[in-house]
Structure 1
Amino acid sequence: MRDTASPFEFDGPVPPDCMINRRSEADVIREWTRESQLMTLVAPRRFGKTSLIRKIASEGEKTGLMVVTADLFEVASLSDLVLRLERAWAQHTPEELRPAAGKILGSAQAGVSISGGGFALAMADRPDTDPEPALHALLELPARLAQHRPGRILIVLDEFQSVAGVPGAQALIWRHAWQERHAVSHLFAGGGPGMLSAAPDDEGRPVEQARTLRLGRLPSAELRTVIKDRFAAANRDVSGVIDGLVAVGEGHPQRTMLLAHLLWLEVSAGERATADDLDAAIAVALRQVDAEARATMSGLTAGQRKVLRAVAEYGTPMAARASRTLGLPKTTAQKAAPHLVATGLIEDTDEGWRVVDPLLARWIRTNYGTRA
């Protein structure tokens, strides 16, 4: 019977008590926070940045660490940035600090409030409202609020790479973060190392002083153990296919959990998973990513598509056979590869090139494969 809910979370941030590994990464961020470091957390999409941040926030409640997280994905303007920050403070400010936060924001007379709707109302009344005073008020709030509590405050700006599209915003945020680093810690999270590219690098504030933590793939041994144990707890045996499942997932957190979930749907209680069950789960996974994969390919130039296919099939954009089969000149590969790296589609590791998303790579080989 398949009447037991799947224990594999794959369609959103993972609850803190369900996270696999990441203990050392959480410890590093907590240590850097105590040391007043400015931090960047870098990882491709679906590698668990948000889950890790939520875990730190959840555990911080027990140690006196206050975490305020703002989601800046596709932030469009300074006004939009103000709305995101105001919403974050409304959501994450503890009850005992809300009166103080409200008083601080009220004294700024910039239209923002701890309720999270102040600036939207201000813009509704006056569409030409200048967002800069409100932005300064929100960026100054953590340092002023730190005077009202004994513990540390950590400001997390998630998907910070989106801020690069708002002129002047990165530099302004960095300046406040640098000036307030002894009272408040800042963590800039996103998908690329160039998140602070527009920040100022003069007056003794080099962006290189920000410590960078990169989330890697999850270790195969721990994935095997966790997946086998979760199946076994519901009287399901995956010992015969666990190595294959982990190999297909390539340590990618979300993709591995998706495959485990789909395999769960193929195996009833009291049964042992077979190679056919795993093949069926992989086939369903490829159907699920089909629309996303086609959109990804459509959004690339012809040269970028060829490089992505070359890495998926041949493990390198410079393979001689890829050059012949795909019509991929070396100069085109050299131009296109950096863009694919910057957008998190491929990576150049110590073990060589590979597509970040193992299901995208398999989808490419399945639909456009040129190797026998």
Structure 2
Amino acid sequence: MRDTASPFEFDGPVPLDCMINRRAEADTIRAWTHESQLMALVAPRRYGKTSLIRKIASEGEKVGLMVVTADLFEVASLSDLVLRLERAWAQHTPEELRPTAGKILSSAQAGVSISGAGFALTMADKPTTDPEPALHALLELPAQLAQHRPGRILIVLDEFQSVAGVPEAQALIWKHAWQQRQSVSYLFAGGGPGMLSTAPDDRERPVGQMRTLQLDRLPAAELREVIKDRFAARNRDVSDVVDGLVAASERHPQRTMLLAHLLWQEVPAGERATTDDLEAAITAALRQVDAEARATMSGLTVGQRKVLRAVAEYGTPMAARALRALGLPKTTAQKAAPHLVATGLIEDTDQGWRVIDPLLARWIRTNYGTRA
């Protein structure tokens, strides 16, 4: 009977003791918090950004760094932003500071509270409530709390690219972050090269001075060792296929763990993994991403779909053979490629173009391949 208790976490943030090779990145962010500059953490989806933030918060607490993380994914309005920030403070404010934070928010008379439910109750009682005073109160809270504790406060605004959909909020956030930088650090985290496109770049608040850390794919050598060690610790041997697994995952953090997990399902205890086992794991992975891949393709224009296919199959959106095979006008490719880059589907690297998600690329080649 096969042991299905896989040691590979792939669904959601990774437990701190399972993280691979993010020590340098965590140390860099912590060092930057002591500088009076804004910070950005940029990474595609599923690169371990949220896991890294949790690591920074957990380790920061041990050295007196207070970390407040707000998840802004798909934030829809000023009121929604207020709710997200209020919940973040309710969740992350240390017990010894809760009375002080509560008094500060109460004195603002903006309908927010340290309990995390104040503004929701305010809106339920009066749906036409203007959220801007509440937003100001929450954005001013870090600097006010900093006067009541030693050490710095780190505010993490995760999935910050979503704020682009709430333009009136952006100027307020940048203004408060810049003004508070002497006592409060801000980390803007999100995906896509356009995440910081709305940052002010003027003499008073130069975005060019922002510290930016781009999360890369994981090192192949370390991935191979971790995968082999976790299999070996449970009496399984993947020495013959680990190179193929890492090649198939293209060192993508989450996709590597997913393939390792699915390979685990194929290899009984006491056995040695074969290439057939690896192929079975890859096939299972393609089945698992099928619905997501179809939704991704359906959400694109015809031209964008063709460019995505061109990159997946030919490694470039401009290859003459790709343009001919897909009936893709060069002008369409030139217009569509930047959109796919901005949405985090493809990237132009020193090694050339590629689809960021290796399983999406393989799914495209498997289902729509035009190359012999």
TM-score by length of 2: 0.98
Deviation for aligned residue 1:4: 5.1
- Distance in 2, matches of 1:362 and 1:305, equals 15
1:175 alignment counterpart: 175
- Aligned 8 A contact 1:143 1:184 in 2: yes
Question: Does residue 251 in structure 1 map to residue 251 in structure 2?
Answer: yes
- Distance in 1, matches of 2:278 and 2:110, equals 57
- Aligned 8 A contact 2:245 2:278 in 1: yes
For 1:1-372, list aligned pairs within 5 A: 1-3=1-3, 5-372=5-372
- Aligned 8 A contact 1:289 1:360 in 2: yes
Q: Provide Cα deviations, 1:320-351, integer angstroms capped at 9, x if missing partner.
A: 11011111121111111000000000000001
What amino acid maps onto 2:323 in structure 1?
S
- Distance in 2, matches of 1:107 and 1:360, equals 51
What amino acid maps onto 1:271 in structure 2?
E
- Aligned 8 A contact 2:312 2:354 in 1: yes
SS in 1 for 2:21: coil
- Distance in 2, matches of 1:203 and 1:249, equals 44
Deviation for aligned residue 1:169: 0.6
Q: Provide Cα deviations, 1:182-238, integer angstroms capped at 9, x if missing partner.
A: 010000011123223333333511222211111010010000000000000000000
- Aligned 8 A contact 2:142 2:184 in 1: yes
SS in 2 for 1:193: coil
Structure 1: 5+ residue stretches without partners = none
Q: Identity percentage over the alignment?
A: 87
SS in 2 for 1:195: coil
- Distance in 2, matches of 1:35 and 1:201, equals 19
- Distance in 2, matches of 1:79 and 1:199, equals 21
- Aligned 8 A contact 1:10 1:254 in 2: yes
Q: Provide Cα deviations, 1:72-97, integer angstroms capped at 9, x if missing partner.
A: 01111100000000000000111111
What amino acid maps onto 1:96 in structure 2?
E
- Distance in 1, matches of 2:2 and 2:56, equals 34
- Aligned 8 A contact 1:170 1:196 in 2: no
Q: Provide Cα deviations, 1:133-187, integer angstroms capped at 9, x if missing partner.
A: 1000000001110111112110000011111111211111000000000010000
Structure 2: 5+ residue stretches without partners = none
SS in 1 for 2:128: coil
Aligned residues between the structures: 372
- Distance in 1, matches of 2:320 and 2:295, equals 28
Structure 1 consecutive aligned stretches of length 4 or more whose deviation exceeds 6 Å: none
- Distance in 2, matches of 1:357 and 1:84, equals 29
What amino acid maps onto 2:254 in structure 1?
Q
Deviation for aligned residue 1:38: 0.4
TM-score by length of 1: 0.98
